[in-house]
Structures are given as structure tokens and as C-alpha cells.
Amino acid sequence: CVDVNECVDSNLCQANATCKNTVGSYDCVCDSGFTANNTQCLNINECTSGTHNCHVNATCTDIIGSYTCSCNTGFTGDGVNCTDINECTSGSNNCHANATCVNGIGSFGCSCKNGYSGNGISCVDVDECATGSANCDAQANCSNSVGSFTCTCKSGYTGNGMTCTDINECPQGCDMNAMCTNIPGSFNCTCKSGYSGDGLSCIDINECTTGTPCSDNETCTNIPGSFNCFCKTGFTGTGGTCVDIDECLANPCHANANCFNTIGSFNCACKTGYTGNGNSCTDINECIPQNPCVINAVCSNTDGSFTCACTDMYTGNGTSCTYLNSCLENPCATNAACTDGNATQSSFSCACNSGFTGDGTTSCTDINECTNNPCHTNANCTNQPGTFTCTCNMGFFGNGISCVCNCTDIDECANSPCNGTAVCMNTPGSFNCTCLTGFTGNTCTDENECLRVNFPCGSNSDCVNNIGSFTCPCKVGYTGDVLPAQDIDECATGSNDCAVDRSNCTNTLGDFNCTCLNGFTGNGKVCSDVNECNGINNCNTLATCQNTVGAFTCTCNSGYTGNGINCLDINECNTPNICQTNEVCMNNIGSYVCSCAAGYTGTTTCTDINECDSNPCGTLASCVNSAGSFNCNCPSGYALDSGKNCVDVNECVGATSCNINANCINGQGSFSCSCKDGYTG
């Protein structure tokens, strides 16, 4: 018997198994990389079972019946042996040109160099100056460069840029008349007081021409960098205070001149009665070439003055000479004026005063000027004793001699300007037309009441329009009242929206109208007050207009009287005691003025002027002050002439107290009697 090699039949074992012949039989043995599982040979995964021999830095890949080893990225070898690849030296890295390559086990890293930022693969320049990462000094300028920066000290500083120290530029660079001040990084040049410029160049300021450094009484002298003040002629002092010199204390003027000190000088003026330049004064003969005294007085020149003495048949102080006339006893009738004769005629005449008629001696009768109609045609004349007054009629204003018509509203409704189907209502300066019941529109045409939204007739009646009205006849088959329903008077019931107290409500058929009252304007439902004072009013030009609700008032201004439409000047001087004692009143238009009477002086209170203080009386006369005046009195035997001098009275002229058989001998201030020859006594 010969052993049969069953293995010759290739299909005895499964795939992945090898047939091995044995004596009288055979075995199926799984191939390498497979393991038996019952009758099957399954693949062994060496990569997961740990039976592979791949390098620790290699990757094991299972295949059917075996496996493969591949070095990982960054390594090189056959998979069983793997060594690290240095990408930084092999040039296989992708680091940026401005980055540093750092090799690692199986890999590499890229790091941007100093002065750059990024991920190493992409690197951009860092602007250290902008990010503040530069370590420049605060007084240095930072300049960025590619991958770095530089520090440069600013002008006025010195150092390496990391540390900068201020340079003290003073005192060089400034003008000799300037002060140098060192400041961080620079310096300032400031011209000294009395100089102007930028400090690098300084010029002297002439204070005497650029301003007024000295007082009004000083002369300014410019000096380098300053100025001096010297008192002007006529002034004295030091230290910027110059006081006026009173030259009059040294009596520089003529004996008959007055010295008047002025600021910085003096004036000489000859006294009253003298002429000259003040340094030389001569007496003025006031009596020539023209007599300064009144016509009935004689002038006598005196040293520096003159005197006036009334001539015979006149009495007075020489400046006023009164003829002793017969009118002093009031010989004329009441309301008449007496006119005396002259020095050679002692008679008198009487003439009635203005406004009276008669012979003046026995009677003067009032003239009724109103009979000749002296007033304006639109004024009333009122006769008064010796005069008359004119008062403008109502509607006119003025002084009565001249009367001007006030502007009054025209009643346009008098000319019937409205349509025949409208009612006219006059308003200030205009008029309104209001349609009658049954008419409507600007031209007041007939209203077709039958077209109203609210049908005016009953449900079983027809509406028939008529001119200004309508009727409601019953339809066929109906009978009843053909009139429409009763109209509601909204004005009477108060169911209207007219402006309260400012408009008139007018009822119409089925409606109503609102019209603003005089003094108001609007649509009747809203009425605003009209300010007549800004437009049409009849106030006098001498009055003030005051607007009121719906009207206005006229009030005469201060100093005038009247109803505001007519205003006349008030003569305040007719009011008793309106001025103070010793004052005279002068009426002005709309006002008055109180001033001191002659012989008095003052502002708020008038006090008597003591004329005697100025020695107004002449030779031998004594001055006696009186309220508002003064008198010059002469001693016995003397009389006052026109120049207020006392001149001797010649008692021997005219009747004397000497005996008829004696001679009268005049002396100064007196006289004596001496018996004629042949007589004794």
C-alpha cells in the first residue's frame, strides 16, 4: 500500500491554509498571518494585537495575512526603523523669512523674530512707536523701522533717545534788553519793561507817544527802557503829583484888576468900571459918550463907577425916576387905565381897558365880543368881563379859534349797500351784510329748504320751495297743516355757539348767524378784542389812548384838561400857591416853570439876595436891604441921584425958612440965613 498524497488535490484546504500530507491522511495548516477558528482561517490584525515590529514613530497598517509599517510625518525610514527629519535644516519648513524655525520630534515650530508679530508662517512688522512698546524717553521722538525702531531726543534735549536731558539754552540767543527763561526743551526771550519785540530783537518803547503815562499836569520825557514825568510850568510837586500854583497869591495884577487863578496859569481882568489888559487898568467914564442913566437923571463919573441922580420934578434912586403924577389917586373909572401928563403938564387922561367901552372917566362897559363871532364856525363863544373864550363844539378839537374835526365812523348802512335780501349792520370803519331768513350765500340767493339734509316737512307731505320760504302741502290722500315744523330760536334758547358777550346772535329759519360786536373782530363764534389804540380812534393828539375790552378810553396828558377827545392846555399858574414863596410862575404848553422872583436866588428854595453885600450905593449913601430889593438912604440935607450917590440939596432954591429980609446961604448938607444989609437978627 502506498500513502496517498491528498494534498495533490488543491481544493482540500481553504484559502489562506496550506495542505500538509501525513501517512494515511493530511492536515490543513493556516498560513502565516492567519489563525484557525474551527474550520476557517481568519486574518490576524498584527497592528491591534501588538505582534507587529513597527517603529514607535511609525504607523502600522493591517493587510490580509500581514501588515505594513510607515514612518510618521516628520520621520524617515522603513517603518521598522524611523529617524526624525530636521525640517529647519532640510528646508522643508514653511516659516516666514522674518521668523525663526525650531525643530521638534517629528515636527517643527515657527516664531516671528523680535520686531515682528504673527504665527511664524506670516510675520508683519510691529510699529513699536504706535503700540507704545518702545522704550523711548518722554522727550524723544520714536521712528519705526523694519523689525525695530530708533529713539532721537527732541530739539532742546540731549541724550541717547532712551534718556533725554533738557539743554539750558540761556543766556545765549536773546537780545541784550531781554530776559532769557529756560523751559523744558526750549527757552523764551522776553523784552524787558520799556522795550518791545520778540525777545530776539528788542527796541525801546517811547511811552510818551504810545499813551499818557504822565498826569495832565506833567510833561513826559522818554529815556531808554523808561520815561520821566516833570511838572509843567504853573505846577509844582514830585512823585507824579503836580499841584497847580496859585499865582494870584503874589498879586501879579494891577491894583484895579481881579486876579483869576487857572490850571497852570492865571488871568488878570480889570474890575468893573476900568478898562485895560489887567496888568494896566484905567478908569472908564461911564457918563460918556452916552448917558447910562434914565432919561430924567444926571450921570456923575466916579473912580471905577458912576452915579445917577433924578432931575427936578422926579423922584427915585437915579436908576428909576418917577414923575409925581395925578394918577396915583386912581381918578379913572373901574376897568380903565390912567395916563399922566408930563413934567410940564399935570393933567391926566382915562381910557377904558381892552374889552371895555366908555369915556374911561365915569364908566367902562364890558364889550360882548361874541356878537362879532370871533370864534371858529365850529366853536361856541362865551363872553367874559373884558374878554371872551372859544370852545370847540362836540366832535371838534382845538383852541376854539381853530377847530379840527375828529374822525368818526361812517355809517355805510345809510346808503343801503347790501342786497335787498340782506340786512346791513354798521361796524367801525366798515359794515356787514347778513342774509334774511330763507336766503343764503355771498349774494343772498334763495335757499331751497327742500334740499336740506333734515327734510323740513312731515313724512306724508311734499315740500314746495318759495322765494325766501317753503310750504309743506299734504300728499294725495292726506289732510292736515301745510306749514313746516316750528323753527327753533337758537339765540333765545341759548343753544348757539356765538362768542359770549362779544357777538350778536341772529336767528334764521332752521339756523342762526353770529356777528362780532363793535370793538371785536372774528367770525362771530370767536371774537377777539380790537385794539383801537393801534388803529382808528378819535383821541386827541395831546391825549393817551387806553385799550379796554371791546372799547377804548382817551385821557388828556398831564398838563392838559378835557374829555380826551378835546384837550386844552392847563394854565397851572392860575392855581393858588402852585409855586413857593418868592417864586414867579411861567406857564408852558402842557407844563409850567417856577423861578425865583427878582431879588431872590436859589434852586429848591428862593432866599432874599442881600444886594448891600455888593455895595450898590454911592457916596454918602447907606444901603438898607429889603425883601427882594434894597434902598439907598441919604443923610439929612442930601438927596439920592441916579447913580445912587448922595448929593447936596440946595435948600436955598425955592421956598426957604429964611426971613424975607435975609439971604439964604447953601452949605454941604445944610444952609444958613444971613440978614441983608440994613437988617439985623
| Domains identified in the chain and CATH numbers | 6-77 (2.10.25), 85-125 (2.10.25.10), 411-446 (2.10.25.10), 448-475 (no CATH)
Q: Tell me, what's the pLDDT at 376? A: 86
Q: Are 595 and 583 in contact (CB under 8 A)?
A: yes
Q: Tell me, what's the pLDDT at 485? A: 45
Prior bond to 289 cis, omega within 30? yes
Q: Residue 198's closest CA among 187, 206, 189?
A: 189
The residue behind cell 437978627 is 681
Cα angle 611, 613, 615 (rounded to 5 degrees) comes to 85
Q: Are 475 and 458 in contact (CB under 8 A)?
A: no
Q: Are 516 and 434 in contact (CB under 8 A)?
A: no
- Cβ within 8 Å of residue 364, ≥6 positions away: 333, 334, 335, 336, 352, 353, 356, 357, 358
Q: What are phi and psi of 10, to 5 degrees?
A: -75, -5
Q: Residue 325's closest CA among 310, 342, 301?
A: 342
How far apart CA 539 and CA 563 sit, in angstroms, is 9
Q: Residue 271's closest CA among 260, 285, 257?
A: 257
How far apart CA 598 and CA 225 sit, in angstroms, is 64
How far apart CA 387 and CA 117 sit, in angstroms, is 120
How far apart CA 413 and CA 398 sit, in angstroms, is 31
Residue ranges of the chain with per-residue pLDDT less than 70: 239, 312-313, 323-329, 340-347, 395, 405-409, 428-429, 453, 477, 481-487, 509-510, 655
Q: Tell me, what's the pLDDT at 477? A: 67
Q: Tell me, what's the pLDDT at 329? A: 66
Quote the cell numbers at residue 465. 320751495
